[in-house]
Amino acid sequence: MEILRSIDEMKTYSKKLHVDGRKIGFVPTMGYLHEGHLSLVKRSHQENDATVVSIFVNPIQFGKGEDLACYPRDEKRDLKMIEPFVSAVFVPDASEMYPEGFVTFVEVGELTNSLCGRFRPGHFRGVATVVLKLLNIVNPDMAYFGKKDYQQFRVIERMVRDLNLSVEIIPCEIIREQSGLAMSSRNVYLSDKENGDAAVIHKALLDGKNDVLNGEKYSSKVTNHIESLLRTAESLKKIDYVSVVNPYTLQDVDTIEDNVVILIAAYFGNARLIDNIEVDKPAHE
């Protein structure tokens, strides 16, 4: 596995792969990898001739007062974990990605105003900008994104469509701990008690999904039910949102007639956790 730290090295490497006719799969990450990341890497490994992973804690997607400074990092462990499946890992530093004078950003409009966009202004502008840069540098055929970050996946998918990029965006299923808690690098912030309590997030989402499948049409009833379940957890500190949205527009749905996604963002201790569940209405309705 090649470890490439400069943009020039990465571009040259991927150009050579393309000249050799090899199909490139790409998994962008911020490191501190877990089984969720590994599932994306393994899928890319299966579906492509070469897999590139990037590890870059992107400063421009963190807001003031967020966890940029303490975001967990362990490059050595990350490299060991992915080595069997990966041809090259791109590990630039911030000055390589954002040299002095950098002023160009990508805005994906309406899709970034709801959900996490409301609570983390500028976050998706930072995500879209870095992902576009990474796609230009790595030039992959396929790029893999986990659906835990559902809004991120839809934002990237839209950017790729709107800007006519040639890459195919592949959404991948959420990987969970045994308790049901969605895997996240930020789970490391949780104490054992908070980690145990946070299992309520997935349980509440499953209950919400059941409400819809059992015929509940009013989103407010579903979100109230979910919020009341979340509030049974002692370590719940704050709920940012519980929302039932259209999967494509990410706008709130009041009366549920079609497929929806239910999303949660909530703090357990100091960790802001997000999770979601897709609800496909039965075909006969």
The residues that touch ligand PAF, with contacts defined as CB under 6 A, are: 28-30, 58, 61, 127, 130-131, 149, 152
Least spacing, CB of residue 30 vs ligand PAF, in Å:
4
Closest listed residue to residue 248, CA positions, set 158, 163, 171: 158
What are the angstrom distances between the C-alpha of 257 and each of 224, 240, 264, 278? 19, 25, 21, 14
Closest listed residue to residue 171, CA positions, set 194, 150, 195: 150
CA 53, CA 10: separation in Å to the nearest integer?
11
178 token code pair: 């045994």
Q: Which of 37, 45, 123, 202 is catalytic?
A: 37
What are the angstrom distances between the C-alpha of 250 and each of 34, 85, 112, 181, 253? 27, 34, 9, 23, 9
Q: Which residue's CB is nearer to ligand PAF, number 56 or number 268?
A: 56
Q: Which residue's CB is nearer to ligand PAF, number 32 or number 268?
A: 32
Q: Which residue's CB is nearer to ligand PAF, number 30 or number 245?
A: 30
Cβ contact 111:154 at 8 Å: yes
Q: Which residue's CB is nearer to ligand PAF, number 61 or number 195?
A: 61
Q: Which residue's CB is nearer to ligand PAF, number 168 or number 234?
A: 168
Closest listed residue to residue 268, CA positions, set 200, 203, 204, 207: 200
205 token code pair: 């989402």
Least spacing, CB of residue 210 vs ligand PAF, in Å:
29
> Which pairing describes strands 260-268 and 236-245: parallel, antiparallel, or unpaired?
antiparallel
Least spacing, CB of residue 193 vs ligand PAF, in Å:
26
Least spacing, CB of residue 157 vs ligand PAF, in Å:
12
Closest listed residue to residue 89, CA positions, set 1, 203, 187, 190: 1
**Count of C-beta atoms within a 10 Å radius of residue 221:** 15
76 Cβ contact partners less than 8 Å away, ≥ 6 residues apart: none
Q: Catalytic annotation on 18?
A: no
Least spacing, CB of residue 252 vs ligand PAF, in Å:
23
Q: Which residue's CB is nearer to ligand PAF, number 165 or number 206?
A: 165
Cβ contact 10:4 at 8 Å: yes
46 Cβ contact partners less than 8 Å away, ≥ 6 residues apart: none
Least spacing, CB of residue 152 vs ligand PAF, in Å:
6
Which residues carry out catalysis?
A: 37
